[in-house]
Each structure stands twice: as structure tokens, then as C-alpha cells.
């Protein structure tokens, strides 16, 4: 393949990945990795390096657009990020001793199982109001945001311990498999902490950038971040993320939830296919 064709293909795919990723709070690796390995014949290590680039670009690109609407809950994100970054470092350190195949199979299975509770609340516009108590009260883990029609949505987080445990696992998976594990982060905030879905996806968006930045140094120094791949991915994702963010603030919560469920099913299938050696 010639350079210009390669760059354009990857650029267009990345715009789509950035738009989808910024809506559902994932890094876009779901689209970028298979395009690179299956379609463009790129080595999996470069594909994972590109996924790191895509995660940081989605996170920062969305954040730069979100500033005005401020749905992201920085407090909840920062609280959970302590567990995610710790998990990511541990994961990166022990990755050499564990089989990626087994991990992918386990992670894929977890994602499939979590489809059940997610589908059960598929029509939920907002979660029922939770009581602010315990650790969540001590750390004031609550917030509000304004929908486009002017309604102010207030919420309290519940089960911060479970959320923290979920994030430790998400961090471990990130460190071990070199993926953003945004799906798992959104699941933890949605199912355990009972946050409104837009708060979960935008807060996950904040978190995946920080987690990916933590491991980016290692990938960059190793030479897994190839500039010919980085350039179209970063540019495409930044554009896609700003489009996706504008769509998200207008979208209905039930729509975001449905798109997330589809993405979750897609990630689960991708993980299991990877484990099977495709």
C-alpha cells in the first residue's frame, strides 16, 4: 500500500472511532486496532501503540470540547483514578508473566456477562436518586449538570468501594492488555455507583486519558508508537471526538445507553476473537 492511501484510510476510520469513543467513554481502540491489524496488515504492537494514542486523543479532544457543558465529574473521576493508575502499573509490571490469551478470554467473558444487567436497564433515562452516605458522603461524591433543554440533573454516587474495586480491575486490564478498558470503567460507574449514563461516559473519558498517559511513556520508549500511524490516528480522533461530544450533549440518555450496549457487545466479541487467535 502507498503512503497517501494508508494515511487517508486510517484518518477516516479514526474520525469514526473518535466520534463513537467520545460518546460512550471509550478510547477508540475497538475500531483502530482491528482496522490496523486485519485491514492494513500492521503488527499488533504498533496497533496497541496506536490504541494508546487514540485513547489520549479521544480523552483530550472530548475534554477540550466539553469545557462549557461540564458533564464530567472531576471529583468522582479523580477518586476512582487512584485505583486505576495503581492497577495499570501493577498490570504493566506483571504482564510478562501472564498469558494474554487467557486474559482476553476472561475479559471478554466478563463483558458478555455484564451485558445482562445493562440490557435490563436499557430504557432507563436517569437512575433513581441515591442517598449520599458513608465514604461517598465524606468525599462529597455527587454532582449536577444541565441538559440541553435546561433541566438540571442532580445525582449522588453510591457504592464507592465497589466502584473503586471495579476501577482497580479496569486499571489491571489496561496495564496487562494495553487497552483503555473504558467499557469496564463505564460499567463500574453505571452498575455499581448508579450515576447517570452521560456522567459515566464523560467521566470515563477523563479517566482513560490519564490511565493511558501513565503507560504511554513505556510504549513510546519501546518504539511501539509509530509516527506514520500516530499522525492520522491523532488527527482523525481529535476531529471525531469534537463531533461526538457535540452529539452527546444533545443525545437522549437512553440513546447513549443503547449505543454503549452495542459497543460493549462488540468489545466482548473482539476480545474473544483475539483470544481465539484471530
For the bound state, the minimum distance from the C-beta of residue 176 to other proteins, rounded and expressed in Å, comes to 11
Cell, residue 192: 455499581
Stretch that binds other proteins, among 19-27, 64-72, 160-168, 269-277 (CB under 8 A): 64-72
**174: helix, coil or strand?**
helix
Cα(215)–Cα(90) distance, integer angstroms: 11
Stretch that binds other proteins, among 1-9, 153-161, 162-170, 259-267 (CB under 8 A): 1-9
Bridge partners, 145 (sequence order):
153
Cell, residue 21: 469513543
DSSP state of 190: I
Within 8 A by CB and 6+ apart from 214, the residues are 85, 88, 89
Q: If binding is defined by CB under 8 A, does position 139 make contact with other proteins? A: yes
Which residue in 137, 220, 265, 273 binds other proteins (CB under 8 A)?
Answer: 220
Which residue in 12, 69, 89, 147 binds other proteins (CB under 8 A)?
Answer: 89
**6 or 126, CB closer to other proteins?**
6
Which residue in 108, 196, 232, 240 binds other proteins (CB under 8 A)?
Answer: 232
Q: Are 272 and 102 in contact (CB under 8 A)?
A: no
Q: Are 188 and 167 in contact (CB under 8 A)?
A: yes
Question: What are the residue ranges of helices labelled H in 25-43?
Answer: 29-34
Q: Are 196 and 253 in contact (CB under 8 A)?
A: yes
Which residue in 19, 20, 57, 248 binds other proteins (CB under 8 A)?
Answer: 57
Q: If binding is defined by CB under 8 A, does position 60 make contact with other proteins? A: yes
Q: If binding is defined by CB under 8 A, does position 15 make contact with other proteins? A: no
**154: helix, coil or strand?**
strand
Which residue in 73, 85, 158, 201 binds other proteins (CB under 8 A)?
Answer: 85
Q: If binding is defined by CB under 8 A, does position 210 make contact with other proteins? A: yes
Q: If binding is defined by CB under 8 A, does position 86 make contact with other proteins? A: yes
Cα(123)–Cα(64) distance, integer angstroms: 30
Q: If binding is defined by CB under 8 A, does position 135 make contact with other proteins? A: no
Q: If binding is defined by CB under 8 A, does position 132 make contact with other proteins? A: no
Which residue in 92, 173, 199, 256 binds other proteins (CB under 8 A)?
Answer: 92
What is the end-to-end Cα distance of the chain in Å, rounded? 22
Instruction: Mark 145-184 with x for binding to other proteins (rule: CB under 8 A) and - for no binding.
Output: ----------------------------------------
Amino acid at each position: 500500500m502507498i503512503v497517501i492511501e494508508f494515511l487517508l484510510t486510517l484518518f477516516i476510520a479514526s474520525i469514526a472511532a473518535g466520534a463513537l469513543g467520545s460518546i460512550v467513554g471509550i478510547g477508540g481502540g475497538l475500531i483502530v486496532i482491528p482496522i490496523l491489524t486485519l485491514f492494513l496488515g500492521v503488527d499488533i504492537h504498533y496497533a496497541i501503540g496506536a490504541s494508546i494514542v487514540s485513547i489520549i486523543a479521544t480523552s483530550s479532544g472530548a475534554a477540550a470540547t466539553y469545557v462549557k457543558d461540564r458533564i464530567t465529574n472531576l471529583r468522582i473521576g479523580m477518586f476512582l483514578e487512584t485505583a486505576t493508575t495503581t492497577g495499570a502499573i501493577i498490570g504493566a509490571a506483571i504482564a510478562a508473566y501472564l498469558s494474554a490469551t487467557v486474559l482476553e478470554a476472561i475479559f471478554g467473558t466478563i463483558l458478555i456477562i455484564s451485558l445482562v444487567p445493562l440490557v435490563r436497564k436499557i430504557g432507563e433515562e436517569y437512575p433513581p436518586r441515591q442517598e449520599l452516605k458513608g465514604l461517598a458522603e465524606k468525599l462529597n461524591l455527587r454532582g449536577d449538570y444541565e441538559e440541553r433543554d435546561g433541566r438540571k440533573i442532580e445525582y449522588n454516587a453510591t457504592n464507592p468501594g465497589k466502584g473503586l474495586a471495579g476501577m482497580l480491575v479496569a486499571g489491571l486490564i489496561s496495564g496487562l492488555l494495553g487497552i483503555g478498558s473504558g467499557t469496564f470503567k463505564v460499567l463500574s460507574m453505571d452498575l455499581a455507583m448508579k450515576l447517570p449514563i452521560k456522567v459515566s461516559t464523560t467521566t470515563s473519558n477523563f479517566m482513560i486519558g490519564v490511565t493511558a498517559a501513565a503507560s504511554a511513556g513505556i510504549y513510546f520508549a519501546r518504539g511501539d508508537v509509530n509516527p506514520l500511524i500516530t499522525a492520522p490516528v491523532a488527527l482523525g480522533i481529535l476531529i471525531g471526538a469534537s463531533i461526538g461530544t457535540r452529539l452527546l450533549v444533545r443525545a437522549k440518555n437512553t440513546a447513549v445507553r443503547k449505543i454503549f450496549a452495542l459497543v460493549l457487545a462488540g468489545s466482548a466479541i473482539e476480545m474473544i476473537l483475539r483470544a481465539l487467535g484471530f
